[in-house]
Amino acid sequence: MVNIYRDNNAANAFLLFIYGLLIKLPYLLHPHIPEAEPTDGFLYHELIQYLQKSGSGFPLIYSFIAFLLLLTQSLTVNRLLNEQRLMSSPTYLVAMAYLLVTSLVPDWNYLSSALIINTVMVWAWPRMVSLYHNPAAKTLLFNIGLGLGISSFFYPSSLLLLVLLIVALLVFRRFNITEWIVALLGVLTPYYFLFVYLFLTDKLHFSALFPALSFSYPKIHFNALFWLRTILLIFPLIVGMYYIQFNTGRMLIQVRKSWALMSFYLVIAFFIPFINPVSTYSYWILCAVPLSAFHAAAYFYPKRFAFANYLHWIMIAFIVAAFFL
């Protein structure tokens, strides 16, 4: 199965649809009705309220939207990472790994604010990498900042992703105060329009513009399934990191910096759910993009194909078994 997705064949896009449909089938057959958490932004609350009428009679709509988002995210991040040449040859392994990684945690297959933000990050991360020697950096920075600002309306804690943009500026650009101001203006633009709307509708109050943020330990259930999922997420991550480090000498400087930024992405995404934590794992789906990139490296670089195949089928077996437990 893994060998199929090693090739950059256009037919693999259709095979990925079938692959994703099969491993996501339990979530399509048993739809989960999402509920907006107090930590979610007002746009996500509005979206859930808008979908309630259709969802009450046809709950499959939530699963369908989540599946569509996951599938498009997997194909998009795969295409964009191929364009950035993060691995020595283009493949569909990142897309396969993304669908596989998100299937390990049930909450990552439900419609959530973090799942929506992942769409923005799939679009934003390659543009951060493209800042390297880019003559139109100001346009890119404004658009990235704009995307991150809008994301905070779905999930306010995602503002921490601004740290990733700051790291990208430090890694890929020489310090230029104008570029930093342009990025900040991009982030503030959605808040400006929100301020105008709230002012004109006489709904202006401090909490609408600056939601309360607090740091505490999320509620995690340390059971056997939790540890098995953790092992299946971390082991391929470590293997992928090892092979990336081993092949660093053969990579271009921009590719090395791109992998470094991907590592920062993983660290930042891991800590975001510690802001205004809840009892679900759905917000850790923000880690799915960097995890899938490193997992793909674990499938791509080993010379013995049997290792990648065994790893893949072990994860598939766990996904199937966990659903019935």
Distance CA 292, CA 100 (A): 8
Task: Quickly state the pLDDT bin for 89 (edges 50, 70, 90).
Answer: confident
pLDDT of residue 305: 78
* DSSP-derived secondary structure for 99-119: HHHHHHSGGGGS--HHHHHHH
Q: Which residues contact 17 (CB under 8 A, 6 or more apart)?
A: 71
pLDDT at 56: 81
pLDDT score at 35: 86
Distance CA 302, CA 111 (A): 35
Residue 103: band (very low, low, confident or very high) from pLDDT cuts 50, 70, 90: very high
User: In terms of pLDDT, which residue wins out, 325 or 304?
Assistant: 304
Count of other CB atoms within 10 angstroms of residue 158: 26
Whether pLDDT at 115 is above 80:
yes
Cβ contacts of 8-13, under 8 Å, gap ≥ 24: 8/82, 8/89, 8/90, 8/91, 8/92, 9/92, 12/92, 12/95, 13/75, 13/92
Distance from C-alpha of 254 to C-alpha of 256, rounded to nearest angstrom = 5
Model confidence at 212, in pLDDT bands (50, 70, 90)?
low
pLDDT at position 205:
66
Q: How far is CA 26 from the centre of its chain?
A: 22
Spatial neighbors of 270 by CB under 8 A, at least 6 apart, are 284, 287
The arithmetic mean of pLDDT across residues 247-273, rounded, is 89
User: Do 109 and 70 contact (CB within 8 A), yes or no?
Assistant: yes
pLDDT of residue 274: 83
CA distances from 144 to 16, 44, 93, 148, 241 (A): 28, 20, 26, 6, 27
What distance in Å separates the CA atoms of residue 51 and residue 33, rounded to the nearest whole number?
10
pLDDT at 222 over 80: no
> In which band, very low, low, confident or very high, does the pLDDT at 231 lie, cut at 50, 70 and 90?
very high
- Which ranges of 201-287 does DSSP label H, i.e. alpha helix? 206-209, 224-246, 253-271
pLDDT of 31 higher than 60: yes
- 3 state SS of 195: helix
Which three-class secondary structure state does DSSP give residue 269? helix
The rounded percent of the chain whose pLDDT value lies above 70 is 94
pTM: 0.91
Q: What mean pLDDT is predicted for residues 100-114? A: 93
Rounded distance, CA 93 to CA 100, Å? 10
pLDDT at position 65 is 94
CB neighbour list of residue 101: distance below 8 Å, 6 or more residues apart = 108, 233, 288, 291, 292, 295
Determine the residue type at 263: S
CB contact at 8 A, 97 and 299: yes
Give the mean pLDDT of the chain. 87
pLDDT-derived band at 174 (thresholds 50, 70, 90) equals confident
Q: Which of 1-10, 48-57, 89-98, 123-132 has the lowest mean pLDDT?
A: 1-10
**What confidence tier does 206 reach under pLDDT thresholds 50, 70, 90?**
low
Determine contact, residues 45/36, Cβ cutoff 8 Å: yes
